[in-house]
Amino acid sequence: MDFGVASTVTILVAAVALLARDRVRPDVVAILVLVALVVVGQVDTQEALAGFSSPAVLSIAALLVLSGGMVRSGAVRWLAVQLQRAAGSSRWRLMVVSVLPPAILSGVVNIVAAVSILIPVILHLARENGVSRRQLLLPMALTSLAGANLTLIGAGHNLVVDSLLRESGVAGLGFFELTPLGLILVTALLAYNLLFAHRLLSGHEASEQSEETEAEDLVATYHLQERLWEVWVRQDAPVAGTPLEQVAIGRRYGLSVISLLRNGGQQPADDVAIGLQGKDVLLVGGRREKVEQLCAENEGLVLAGRPEPQTAFPSSEAELVEVIVPPRSHAIGKTLRELRLRDQAGLIGLAVWRQGQPRRSDAGDTPLQAGDGVLLFGARMQTRNFEPRPDFLWLQSPPSEASPPELGARAVLATAILVAVVVLGATGWLSIAVAALAGAAAMILLGILTTGQAYEAIDWRTIALIGGMYPLGTALKSSGTVELVSRLLSENIGAAGPHVTLWAIGLLAILLTQPMHSAVVAVILTPVAIGVAQSLGVDATPFALAVIVGASASFLLPAGHPAPLLVQSPGRYSTADYVRFGVGPVLIVWAVIGLVIPWIWPLG
């Protein structure tokens, strides 16, 4: 074995070991691989950095921006609402509604976005229908991974394989070339979920029913329920018609007016000029004696008692968020009242967290210190548009998957942009990279995303991971490693025929993708798959497809892909749950690789 092969294989083995042990971040491992390859002379500087300008990496970055625009505009949220309406009480129907749409969505939208936006929807469906969330969340995540095979842009590793194919002089993949495989996989996994999810993912029902939402967690953490009161405004109260600001509930009594209930609807009391009306109910935060003093000194105001926990903070109209005061903040030494958060941002300061204890009384008049947590409440429009920097940093921000109400009208526009990108890429009028970049630019120009939000939508760790590992594929070929491995596989397995070799490539992809990012698997195995196909004298496309499909089967470990990892906590899954439930889908994927791929793309 010469130095080139030995050094490349050593770097590859070291990278796989680091990725599998999860001691070093994958993107850092990728950069170390890039540097090591340059140091040992297996790639030059231009080859080392070529991955960051490859069509695959540019496409992935742009497609992440498109996914961010779909989420931000409310288009994906609209789909979630339709799922809630379509779901019935039948367990089978509930499974179909929970699993099939996100799987289809994963074909054109980032898988993580498709899964994360639907987790709260599925939790709600499970609770409303008395079905264990454990029987819905993991099936949804795994089927969404399979759905990434519906189009070429369904997953980043699809684009990596396509790019490596073209660089090797082999014809690239069509936009919908994967679609038959994707449809078969999604259908097979749906059937598997219907038959086995309720048997393999049962239990933990009692703990599920008592789990609190994030808002309830904040209410409990700050002990707000002890200091929340409802104050009723009588029909003949002298304060009727008086603006809230003139009542001076905050300045005079140290209380926070949180929201106002009028005609059955609840709204945040962010507008201090709003006039009180008879039969209004005010939600007030503070000490009971202060509320009693307020009612005693203002005829017509009546203390009605504490509100029901589930109605105090209606998440459909408003929400709680939490920020922290960082060192060197301009907010240090100032009060919330002096910062005028209510006037400038429409947010109400409910409490301050300091030294392990909440301060709820006179929260608006408490000088802030570095490290203080601040609990804020406001309408969704205000919380979603609030930019805490430089005075604050987010501790618990609004859900990133939820869109500000004023963007809802642009959901159709965002969807039209995504459809245009798909049409342009599928018809070949523009390359996928150029079409995706044009779509990302359109999202910004039309105001669906700001420039900052577009950059935030890009997972730069994934970009660094793929760009850093990309030269490894170049080194595997230039050093002769691909030729050596291809010859070994051909001599030892190829004698059994291309079908068996295809099974072996697919199995290797499945095994490697359990602990490693699928894009890394694509970088490592695609050159080998092409080399094996060429040594056997057959078309390389089926072998490349085996890598794509196998790399999408991150079913056995939660660390293999962010989608299964996202459902681990809300579903309360153990690693044993992933292995027990994931073995079936792995066998399905392997069967599709060995039986369906050579049927559609003959090996002869």
Q: What is the mean pLDDT of the chain?
A: 82
Is the pLDDT at 525 greater than 80? The verdict is yes
Q: What is the rounded CA–CA span in Å between residue 598 and residue 325?
A: 60
Q: What is the rounded CA–CA span in Å between residue 581 and residue 162?
A: 31
The residue with greater pLDDT, 513 or 313, is 513
- Supply 393's token pair: 């940093």
CB–CB of 124/169 below 8 Å? no
558 Cβ contact list (under 8 Å, min separation 6):
564, 565, 568, 573, 575, 578
The residue with greater pLDDT, 359 or 185, is 185
Q: What is the rounded CA–CA span in Å between residue 571 and residue 539?
A: 43
pLDDT for 402 equals 52
Which amino acid is residue 31, in one-letter code?
Answer: I
pLDDT for 195 equals 92
- Supply 447's token pair: 């105001």
Is the pLDDT at 41 greater than 80? The verdict is yes
The residue with greater pLDDT, 491 or 350, is 350
Whether the full predicted model's pTM is greater than 0.85, yes or no, is no
pLDDT for 89 equals 61
User: 214-312 architecture in CATH?
Assistant: 2-Layer Sandwich (3.30)
The residue with greater pLDDT, 110 or 577, is 577
What's the rounded mean pLDDT across residues 258-277?
Answer: 72
What's the rounded mean pLDDT across residues 394-407?
Answer: 62
Model confidence at 210, in pLDDT bands (50, 70, 90)? very low
- How many Cβ atoms sit within 10 Å of the Cβ of residue 182? 24
Q: What is the rounded CA–CA span in Å between residue 417 and residue 75?
A: 12
pLDDT for 207 equals 40
Residue 153 has φ and ψ, to the nearest 5°, of -95, 10
pLDDT for 208 equals 41
With pLDDT > 70 as the criterion, what percentage of the chain qualifies? 87
Which amino acid is residue 471, in one-letter code?
Answer: P
CB–CB of 38/48 below 8 Å? yes
Q: Specify the pairing of strand 318-324 against strand 373-379.
A: antiparallel
What's the rounded mean pLDDT across residues 185-213?
Answer: 73
Q: What is the DSSP track for 348-387?
A: EEEEEEETTEEE-TTGGGSPP-TT-EEEEEEEHHHHHH--
Is the pLDDT at 535 greater than 70? The verdict is yes
pLDDT one-digit tens code per residue, 404-460: 555 556 788 888 998 898 888 888 888 888 988 999 999 999 988 888 888 888 878
Q: What is the rounded CA–CA span in Å between residue 168 and residue 532?
A: 13
pLDDT for 399 equals 62
Look at residue 327 and give its three-state secondary structure: coil
CB–CB of 241/300 below 8 Å? no
pLDDT one-digit tens code per residue, 301-359: 988 888 765 555 655 567 788 888 888 788 999 998 888 887 788 788 888 888 778 88
Is the pLDDT at 273 greater than 70? The verdict is no
- How many Cβ atoms sit within 10 Å of the Cβ of residue 570? 17
Look at residue 396 and give its three-state secondary structure: strand
Q: What is the rounded CA–CA span in Å between residue 390 and residue 377?
A: 19
CB–CB of 244/229 below 8 Å? no
Is the pLDDT at 22 greater than 70? The verdict is no
What's the rounded mean pLDDT across residues 5-14?
Answer: 85
Order the strands of the 301-305 sheet from edge to edge: 265-268, 256-262, 281-285, 228-233, 301-305
Q: What is the rounded CA–CA span in Å between residue 163 and residue 106?
A: 20
pLDDT one-digit tens code per residue, 119-169: 767 776 777 677 888 899 999 999 999 999 999 988 888 988 998 898 888
95, HSE (Cβ side, Cα atoms, 13 Å): 22
What's the rounded mean pLDDT across residues 529-549?
Answer: 91
Q: What is the DSSP track for 510-571?
A: HHHHTTS-HHHHHHHHHHHHHHHHHHHTS-SHHHHHHHHHHHT---S-GGG-HHHHHTHHHH
Q: Top-level CATH class of 318-406?
A: alpha beta
pLDDT for 439 equals 92
Lowest-confidence segment of 19-33, 368-382, 397-411 by average pLDDT: 397-411
Which residues of the chain are in CATH 3.30.70.1450 domains?
Answer: 214-312, 318-406
The residue with greater pLDDT, 243 or 549, is 549
296 Cβ contact list (under 8 Å, min separation 6):
none
Q: What is the rounded CA–CA span in Å between residue 265 and residue 130?
A: 28
Tell the burial category of 62 from Cβ atoms under 10 Å away from its Cβ (0-12, 13-18, 19+): buried
Is the pLDDT at 26 greater than 50? The verdict is yes
Is the pLDDT at 204 greater than 60? The verdict is no
